[in-house]
Amino acid sequence: MGGVPERLLHHPEMQRRGIKLVAALNPGVVFCSIPTENPQFVVKVLDLGTEELPIYERLLRQANSPRNHTIPCEIYREGHPLLIMPYLMPLDVLISRDCPSLRRLFRAFQDLAEGVEFLHQQHIAHLDICHNNIVTALGEHVSAHPDSGLVSGRTYIIDFNTSRQLALGPGLQHAITLPPTQLPPPNSLKHFDPYSWDMYCLGQVYERALRFILLRDSLSADSILRGWLAGVSNGSSVTSVAVTPRVDVGRPLRREGLASLLLTKLKPGYNLLASSNLFSTSTSLFWSMSSGGPPWFAYDPDGEIWFGGVPDRLLRHPEILRRGIKLTDALKPGIVFRAGLDDPAFVVKVIDTDTEEIQIYDRLLSGIRSPLNHTVPAEIYRDGHPLLIMPYLCNLTRLLLDEDRTPARLIDIFYQLAEVCSLMPDISTRR
């Protein structure tokens, strides 16, 4: 079962390329060359009774699309068609052998979500997304296949032998009978919206990878993500996180049976994002880096504190007047105030000089051009009591409720937050 047939061993194309196949990865169908051989290849005998060949033809014609995560490969067409591709690192092997960081894992998650969205935009349902059909290119693979178009660190989707090209897109396609799949359908169901089934399988892949990582070592976010996966909330808020929406995530997937984004396995986490502590403990995208403050309260005519108001000393502050900023209400009474009705909109924070906030902002803003630095671009006004003046951005809760959200967009946010976690040890800062 693990051998290579003579017709492949002596195939003229294998001989021409010097590919020495030694083992079957999928008996009778997929074969690999010598592991110590550089470069190493995988050869697949395409089944003409499936749609795999026309699907690869379509996808390879769009190989230059940044959202296409089909593995770079060649179709040999003389005689029975063969698919010849570089041997890459399976996702499970990458996780167990290379011990990737949470940031790197979220990078792979984003690649997968982006790749699945791209397939769905082409009206292609993969139907067998699982850890065995996901591979990642490492630097050694790129060096071994310099002309292949591989990108180091990029995750690719393989194996379209059960995939389908559909007449209708997400949200319009009716249920189909599932082909044989590596992941068992929930409740032994056999009929699914094919696009929704892909998203369910994607959620299963995410859960498997996260569970392995979190059981393997103690990360700064492990207890948070464990709670997320278990659907446990600790009642905190994420309204302190600001998000600048990306514009390159493609057409949103509407009404495609996402079941709150990632279906069964990731649904508890999505539903609890607005009340979990996932973001408020692991990012420097905060309006506030300290819980203290002067505070500068506004008062009503009866002398009572008006928690939603803006104090006169800020309304008439010379810098606020000079910039033409019209503060309208308090986001955090006495400390953080918003000019949310103007364009551009601003947020002004009264910095507590008894904390290290101003020193931390000084350090972070000095390195604002670093791609890992997700501090909100801001200015520190130092004449008199220091103020932090920054643009008013969309908070995460609002973004999650936006109908234009997509899985790739959500995973991109996770990836950026993981970048923040990787930056924090370098600046010796703890939230």
Six token digits for residue 380: 């520190």
Q: Which domains does the chain have, with CATH numbers?
A: 88-283+399-427 (1.10.510), 298-394 (3.30.200)
Assess whether pLDDT exceeds 80 at residue 411.
no
Assess whether pLDDT exceeds 80 at residue 402.
no
pLDDT band, very low/low/confident/very high, at 276 (cuts 50, 70, 90): very low
Per residue in 60-103, pLDDT tens? 999 999 999 999 999 999 999 999 999 999 988 888 776 667 77
Rounded mean pLDDT, 184-188: 86
pLDDT of residue 28: 92
Rounded to 5, what percent of the chain is helix, strand, coil?
Answer: 35, 15, 50
Q: Starting at the earlier edge strand, list the strands of the sheet with 346-350.
A: 329-332, 336-339, 346-350, 387-391, 379-381
Classified as helix, coil or strand, 207 is helix
Helix (H) or strand (E) holding 82: strand 82-86
Rounded mean pLDDT, 230-256: 36
> Could you give the CA distance from residue 347 to residue 317 in angstroms, rounded to a whole number?
14
pLDDT band, very low/low/confident/very high, at 399 (cuts 50, 70, 90): low
Per residue in 305-330, pLDDT tens? 888 889 999 999 999 999 999 999 89
Rounded mean pLDDT, 199-224: 71
Classified as helix, coil or strand, 68 is coil
pTM across the whole model: 0.62
pLDDT of residue 421: 61
Rounded mean pLDDT, 262-272: 34
Query: What percentage of the chain has pLDDT greater than the value 90?
Result: 46
- Mean residue pLDDT of the chain comes to 78
Per residue in 244-258, pLDDT tens? 443 333 322 322 333
Assess whether pLDDT exceeds 80 at residue 189.
yes
Weakest-pLDDT range from 296-300, 335-339, 423-427: 423-427
Helix (H) or strand (E) holding 387: strand 387-391
Six token digits for residue 410: 């959500």
> Could you give the CA distance from residue 188 to residue 266 in angstroms, rounded to a whole number?
19
Give the residue, 227 or 252, on which the prediction is more confident: 227
Assess whether pLDDT exceeds 80 at residue 401.
no
24-28, 68-72, 171-175 — most confident range: 68-72
